[in-house]
Amino acid sequence: MAHHKFEASTKMTFKTSKDNEQAGLTVYRTNKNHFKLLKDKNSLVLIKAFKGDQTEIARITYKNK
C-alpha cells in the first residue's frame, strides 16, 4: 500500500545572476501531476502541475543574507 502522507526536507545552495535559472525539489507522481518547490533569482515558488496544467500556488521573496 502506498502512503501519501510524508515529510521531506532539503538544504541547498543556489546562487544565480540570471532570471531564468531555477533549482529545487519535486514531489513527482507523473509527468503531468506533481509539485515543485523552486528557488529562482529572488523568490521561493510552489507550483502544482495537474493534468499537464501548471499553477503557481505561492511565491515569496527570498534573499539570502
Cα–Cα distance, 38 to 60 (Å, whole number): 11
User: What are the residues facing 45 on neighbouring strands?
Assistant: 38, 59
Q: What is the pLDDT of residue 54?
A: 93
Given a cut of 70, whether residue 1 has pLDDT beyond it is no
Helix, strand, coil in percent for the chain, rounding step 5: 0, 50, 50
Give this prediction's pTM: 0.71
For 19, the 3-state DSSP assignment is coil
Mean pLDDT of the chain, nearest integer: 84
Tell me whether residue 39 is exposed, middle or buried, using C-beta atoms within 10 angstroms of its C-beta: 0 to 12, 13 to 18, 19 or more.
Answer: buried
